[in-house]
Amino acid sequence: MKHVEVFVVGGGPAGLCAAISAAESGADVIVAERSSILGGQLIKQTHMFFGSEKQYAGTRGIDITDILIDKLNEMDNVKILKDTTVLSVYEDGVISIEENGVYKKIKPERIIIATGASEKSLAFPNNDMPGIYGAGAVQTLMNIHGVRPGHNVLMVGAGNIGLIVSYQLMQAGVNVKAILDASPTIGGYLVHASKIRRMGVPILTRHTVKRADGTDSLEKATIVELDEKWQEIPGSEQELDVDVMCVSIGLSPLSELLFQSGCEMAYIREFGGYVPLRSINLKTSQDHIYIAGDVGGIEEASSAMVEGHIAGLAVAKSINKVHENYDLLYKDYHEQLASLRAGHAGDHIRSGLEKATI
Amino acid sequence: MRIQEHPVLDFKKGKEVEFTCNDKTIMGYEGETIAAALHASGVKVLSHSSENHRPRGFYCAIGNCSSCLMEVDGMPNVRICTEPLKAGMVVLSQSGKGEIR
Amino acid sequence: MLEKTGIASEEQIASSFPSMERLEKGPVAVIECFQRIPCNPCATSCKKGAIVPFVDINDLPDLNHQKCNGCSLCVFNCPGLAIMVVDYTYSETQVSFKLPYEFLPLPLEGSTVMGLDRNGDAICDCDVLKVTNSKVMDRTPLVTVAVDKKHLMTFRNIKVVQDGR
């Protein structure tokens, strides 16, 4: 059994920033990433990020990964394990991992779980057909593998992911026939919406998918309008000839390890599903387990990075590895988070935090 | 289906290799996922569901949902959306939960 | 309503434009950003101090059109691509617009492209005056087109018409 100081599960923006801050504080850190590439969802984000300079606003997501990896490579107290899946986090604090096909057990002093989130699916007849993908899947196909998903797309969901992926589809030469949202208003940033509208892509609010049809794969989708009570308006059905449907109706935290390890969990709608209860320093109900990023509640990459830094600092301090600028950084990171969450766009986050903070 | 020119990205591909899917020879690039290589050559149906034989493709493309399980070089239940392609791979649709031989 | 359609109203657009007096002095930025979101690269990229530094990053950009010289640094720094530079003095009959354009193929200088309104509908032809794509722009090229002055408030986007489309 290996002894380790800080073990970070997940090499996305939250995990990488947690590793940076914990290592800068003097802790020995291991980062386990199940994929062969670091960066999590950042590696598919070809657009410029929002937020402020401190969260790399104006920089493309794909470039932010490189910035974080470069920082980690400068430190010799960080070990990065790629192609390494964390299989379990047991209640006694033992972790088991599969590292390139080899099974190992580790007992870290502290664990930071930064496993992110996955796409929700939508229920409608034939929703299991090939051609119907999560929006992130289409992003992976296009931006990582350089493969177009199809020719004509129906985007279901006008949150930031739906709007951004629609724009990226157009950049890849794929036609987006329409973007739907069941809500009466567009959920994503309106500048993203305006950008896609002036390309001629319709955004239909109060609309949803009624059914999908096709022989072996998607050939057409039937959409329908909803009334103020979210009920289908009879006779408002329209058929669209599409070979790709992107389901972008929200994410849910990948919380299996947290459940297994015995952390106290709660279903918090504002956060997208089950999340662990946590202190303001991101410690769960278990003293040795911390969280960072979307696994604690669906938000944005900018806040995931700041949370990563907070968790990294806090975790290191808890094993007496205190960053020389701890107080300054602690204050700054919390101010950054407050700033990101202060506006209307952060209403649901603040509401969720009231329920999740212990 | 492959993007030749992109306004933001540069796609660096490994070497072109041959593999088979259900006995059909397909070209792909070494190191890309099997799902990407199949999709690029127009293969969208990866298997059929065990009870009602409904066509199945991938859904999340990142290893979370288990929609894309196929048999690769004799090993069943491989998530082809995360499995990197190698020359000469033999990819087969599996029926149901696959057999461990 | 912007939140329902994704398209700003005529009043909102009019409020982003400077006075005719300022338009007649030369190039100036027009920022169409109406929602409070955490974002401030426009202010941090402005070297003239024309965009007031944000106190709260959720604030809407506050652009002083008199201080602005239309340099277009904010145009390619805005993550929402919400800014364009308008030059009403381009000619007697035409106004020029400098837009961020992140698509291929980039239009060729001297060619004609389709001009679109905020709904994505074609409203005119435009002459492509200039295309810049330098390293500092980080893959957000700027395309400058000349458009008939009557489209000042409605023109917002271009479409490169390709053979066979």
pLDDT tens, residue by residue, A3-25: 799 999 999 999 999 999 999 99
Q: Which helix (H) or strand (E) holds C73?
A: helix C73-77
Determine, yes or no, domain membership for C165: no
Q: With contacts defined as CB-CB under 8 Å, which chain C residues touch A49? A: 79
| Angle in degrees, 0-180, between the axes of helices A13-24 and A61-73, rounded to the nearest 10 | 30
Contact with chain B for residue A173, Cβ under 8 A = yes
pLDDT of B99 reads 78
DSSP A85-112: EEEEE-TTS-EEEEETTEEEEEEEEEEE
| Angle in degrees, 0-180, between the axes of helices A160-171 and A190-197, rounded to the nearest 10 | 30
- Total residues found in chain A within this entry: 358
- Total residues found in chain B within this entry: 101
Mean pLDDT of A22-48: 95
Name A95's bridge partners: A89, A106
Contact A130 B44 (CB under 8 A): yes
Domain shared by A243 and A255, yes or no: no
What total number of domains does chain B contain?
1
Domain-ending residue, one of A247, A263, A291: A247
Contact with chain B for residue A35, Cβ under 8 A = yes
How would you list the strands of the sheet with B90-92, edge to edge?
B24-29, B16-21, B90-92, B69-72, B75-79
B81 in helix, strand or coil? coil
Report the chain C residue with the minimal C-alpha distance to residue B9: C139
Report the chain A residue with the minimal C-alpha distance to residue C45: A58
Q: Which two tokens stand for residue C91?
A: 């000619």
**Radius of gyration from C-alpha coordinates of chain A:** 21
pTM of the entire structure? 0.93
Which chains neighbour C (Cβ–Cβ under 8 Å, 3 or more pairs)? A, B
Determine, yes or no, domain membership for B53: yes
Q: Is the predicted pLDDT of residue C90 greater than 90, yes or no?
A: yes
Contact with chain C for residue B42, Cβ under 8 A = no
Name C113's bridge partners: C126
Check residue A159 and report its DSSP letter: S
Which chains neighbour B (Cβ–Cβ under 8 Å, 3 or more pairs)? A, C
Q: Which two tokens stand for residue C2?
A: 């912007």
Determine, yes or no, domain membership for B3: no
Determine, yes or no, domain membership for C164: no
Interface with B, mutate which of A46, A121, A141, A248 (most B CBs under 10 A): A141
For residue C105, whether the previous peptide bond is cis, meaning omega lies within 30 degrees of 0, is yes
Contacts of C28 (CB under 8 A, 6+ apart): C18, C22, C65, C68, C69, C70, C85, C86, C87
Contact with chain B for residue A33, Cβ under 8 A = no
What total number of domains does chain C contain?
1
pLDDT of B98 reads 78
Mean pLDDT of B24-51: 95
What total number of domains does chain A contain?
2
Domain shared by A184 and A326, yes or no: no
The CATH number linked to B51 is 3.10.20.440
Q: Which helix (H) or strand (E) holds A17?
A: helix A13-24
pLDDT of C119 reads 96
C87: closest CA of chain A, how far (Å): 21
CA atoms of A130 and B45, how far apart (whole Å): 6
Contact B11 A129 (CB under 8 A): no
Contacts of B23 (CB under 8 A, 6+ apart): none
pLDDT of C164 reads 46
Report the chain A residue with the minimal C-alpha distance to residue B30: A145
- Beta strand C94-100 pairing with C83-87: antiparallel
Contact A190 C140 (CB under 8 A): no
Domain shared by A88 and A199, yes or no: no
Q: Which of A132, A148, A217 is opposite residue B45, by nearest beta carbon?
A: A217
Contact with chain B for residue A195, Cβ under 8 A = no
Q: Which two tokens stand for residue B95?
A: 């029926």
pLDDT of B100 reads 76
- The mean predicted confidence, pLDDT, of chain A is 95
Domain shared by A256 and A206, yes or no: no
Identify whether the C-beta of residue A301 lies closer than 8 Å to the C-beta of residue A41.
yes
Identify whether the C-beta of residue A253 lies closer than 8 Å to the C-beta of residue A272.
yes
A269 in helix, strand or coil? helix
Contact with chain C for residue B5, Cβ under 8 A = yes
pLDDT of C163 reads 61
Determine, yes or no, domain membership for B99: no
B10: closest CA of chain A, how far (Å): 9
Place of tokens 């009231």: A354
Q: Which two tokens stand for residue A290?
A: 């911390």
Q: Which amino acid is at A197?
A: R
Mean pLDDT of B23-44: 96
Domain shared by A128 and A112, yes or no: no
Q: Binning pLDDT at 50, 70 and 90, where does residue A2 land?
A: low
Interface with C, mutate which of B3, B4, B5, B8 (most C CBs under 10 A): B8
Determine, yes or no, domain membership for C152: yes
* Surface of C (120-149) touching B: CB under 8 A: 139
CA atoms of C16 and C30, how far apart (whole Å): 6
CA atoms of A74 and A88, how far apart (whole Å): 30
Q: With contacts defined as CB-CB under 8 Å, which chain A residues touch C58? A: 339, 342-345
In 3D space, the residue among A125, A126, A110, A75 whose CA is nearest the CA of residue A5 turns out to be A110
For A168-200, b/e burial (b = at least 16 CB within 10 A) is bbbbbbbebbbbbbbbebbbbbbbbbbbbbbbb
Check residue A61 and report its DSSP letter: H
Q: Binning pLDDT at 50, 70 and 90, where does residue A124 land?
A: very high
% residues pLDDT > 70 (chain B): 99
For C66-82, b/e burial (b = at least 16 CB within 10 A) is eebebebbbbbbbbbbb
pLDDT of A264 reads 98
Range of the domain at C130: 2-159
Identify whether the C-beta of residue B20 lies closer than 8 Å to the C-beta of residue B89.
yes
The values of phi and psi at residue A141, to 5°, are -60, -50
Q: With contacts defined as CB-CB under 8 Å, which chain C residues touch B8? A: 102, 139
pLDDT of B50 reads 85
C21: closest CA of chain A, how far (Å): 28
Q: Binning pLDDT at 50, 70 and 90, where does residue C165 land?
A: very low
Domain-ending residue, one of A247, A273, A302: A247
Q: Which of A118, A134, A148 is opposite residue B1, by nearest beta carbon?
A: A148
What are the pLDDT digits (tens) for C33-89? Answer: 999 999 999 999 999 999 999 999 999 999 999 999 999 999 999 999 999 999 999
- Total residues found in chain C within this entry: 165
Range of the domain at A108: 2-118+251-356
CA distances from A140 to A116, A143, A145, A148, C108 (A): 16, 5, 7, 10, 31
The CATH number linked to A46 is 3.50.50.60
CA atoms of A323 and A300, how far apart (whole Å): 26
What are the pLDDT digits (tens) for A150-199? Answer: 999 999 999 999 999 999 999 999 999 999 999 999 999 999 999 999 99
Q: Binning pLDDT at 50, 70 and 90, where does residue A344 land?
A: confident
Determine, yes or no, domain membership for B4: no
Mean pLDDT of C8-23: 96
Mean pLDDT of A132-145: 94
For C28-55, b/e burial (b = at least 16 CB within 10 A) is bbbbbbbbbbbbbbbbbbbeeebbeebe
Contact C104 B8 (CB under 8 A): no
B67: closest CA of chain A, how far (Å): 9
Contact with chain B for residue A175, Cβ under 8 A = no
| Angle in degrees, 0-180, between the axes of helices A326-341 and A301-318, rounded to the nearest 10 | 150
**CB atoms < 10 A from the CB of A344, how many?**
10
B5: closest CA of chain A, how far (Å): 8
Determine, yes or no, domain membership for B51: yes
Domain shared by A130 and A21, yes or no: no
Contact with chain B for residue C102, Cβ under 8 A = yes
Q: Which helix (H) or strand (E) holds B76?
A: strand B75-79
Contact B39 A143 (CB under 8 A): no
Contact with chain B for residue C104, Cβ under 8 A = yes
Identify whether the C-beta of residue A146 lies closer than 8 Å to the C-beta of residue B11.
yes
Q: List helix spans (H) across A126-266.
A: 135-139, 160-171, 190-197, 256-260
Range of the domain at B32: 16-92
Q: Which of A130, A147, A171 is opposite residue B57, by nearest beta carbon?
A: A130
Determine, yes or no, domain membership for B100: no
